[in-house]
Chains A and B, each alone.
Chain A
C-alpha cells in the first residue's frame, strides 16, 4: 500500500541555528489517523509545515507520490488541508463565507460554485448561521470550526491539525472531536491532549528534540512518556 505521506531523514535548522528537526522518518497510510505528541519546541509544528512546503529542510518529503518541491506545491496543497494552531491567523477574509470560499476560489472554482461549497462546508461543521458574520466576532470554538470548514472546502485527502483544541472549552472540544471523527480523511494531529488523541487517532508518535523517539498505540505512547493529564 502506497503511503499518503512519507518522510525520510528530514532535517531542518532555523536561521538562528536552532536545530528543529534532526532526521525525522515518518509514514502516514490511507485511512490512518496519527497523533503527534511531544513537548513545546520539540519540532511538531516545524514538521507539519514541511508537509505543505511552507518550510524546506534536508531530506525527503513525499505526499501522495509526489516530492514536496516548488513545481508540486499546488498539487500537494490540494491534497493536504492544514488547520493552524491559531485560528485567528487562518481567518483573514472579511466574512465567514468569504473566508471559507477562499480556497475554492484560489483553485479556480467559479464564484457561484465556491459559494455553494462554502455554505455546504459551514453546514458540515454546524456553522451555517455564521456565514455573514465577521470572523473576529466568533468565539474560539466557532473560529476553529470555521477554519476547519475553510480547510475542508479545498477538498483535501489528508487533514493536518496543529493543536486543534488550543483555547477551546470542553464542550467546544467535544464538538470538534465529533466533527473530526465524522470526516473520512486521513489525519495527522499535533496535540498535547492525550484524551483527545486517543479518541481520534489510531497511532501516536512522540517528538523529542526534533526526533521521533517513540511510536505505537496512542494510550501506550502517552503512558510511556507521562503524557496523561
Chain B
C-alpha cells in the first residue's frame, strides 16, 4: 500500500530539508502574509511568490509538477467563491482569489513536503501555537493516512471483483459510508495501540533540532527575497 506522498517527500535529504523546521515555518508564514496582503488586481507579487516557491521546490529536489498538481486541489473550493465574485461583476477580485489561493496552497504543500510533520508540530509549539490546535493537526494528519489506506484496500477489493472507478452515485455513497466506518474501526485500533504504549497526547520526536548558521542564512535570504518580491520587482511587473 502506498501512503500519502507528502510524508515520503518530507523525508528528503536536500539542503532545504535539512534546515530547522522553525525557519521553514517562519519563511512559509512570511510568504503567506506577502501573498495575502496583495491588493486585488495586482498579480506580480503573487506570481513572483509562486515562482520563488517553485524554485525552492526544485532546489529541494521535489517534483515541481507534482506539487503544482496537488496545489490545484484548492481550486474547486476557491473557484466557487471566485465564480461568485465574477458573476457579481468583480473579475479582478475573482482572478486574485484564484491566484492567491493557489499560490498559498502551493506554499503550504511545499512546507509540508520539506519538513517532517512531527518537526513541523514542534516548530509550531516553539511559536506558541495553542496546544489544542497542534493536537488537532496531528490527529487530522495521522487519520488522513488511515482513511487513505482503507480507501486503497476497498478500491483493490472492488477492482478484484470487476468494479470500476465510475461507480454509480448510490454505490459511491455507500462505499464512502463503509470507508468511514472502516476507518473509524481502524482508528480505534490505532488509538488502543497508542494508549497501550503510554501516549500522553503529544507526539514526541526523536531528533532534537539545533539552530545552525545555515538556518539563519536560509531565513535571511528567504525573508529578503519575499520582501523584494512583495515590495519591488513584482509591482514593477504590473505597471
Contacts and interface: CB of A to CB of B under 8 A. Distances in A.
Asked if chains A and B come from one complex, the reply is yes
Given A105-B206, A111-B205, A111-B206, A54 B197 contact: no
Contact of A106 (B7, B8, B199): B199
A154 B198 contact: yes
B198 A107 contact: yes
Contact of A89 (B3, B116, B193, B207): B193
Interface stretch (A29-37, A77-85, A121-129, A208-216): A77-85
Interface string B211-235: 0000000000000000000000000
Nearest to A95: B11
B142 A92 contact: yes
A101 B206 contact: yes
B170 to A, nearest CB: 27
B51 interface: no
Contacts of B190: 89, 92
B197 A106 contact: yes
Interface string A110-130: 010011001000000000000
A54 B204 contact: no
B186 interface: yes
Contacts of B196: 52, 54, 77, 80-82, 84
Contact of B207 (A84, A92, A111): A111
B194 interface: yes
A49 B195 CA distance: 11
Interface residues of A, number: 33
B200 interface: yes
Nearest to A80: B196
Interface string A142-166: 0000000011001000000000000
Interface string A82-111: 101010011010110110011101110001
Given A97-B206, A111-B204, A115-B206, A54 B195 contact: yes
Nearest to A132: B11
Interface of A: 49, 52, 54, 74, 77-78, 80-82, 84, 86, 89-90, 92, 94-95, 97-98, 101-103, 105-107, 111, 114-115, 118, 134, 136, 150-151, 154
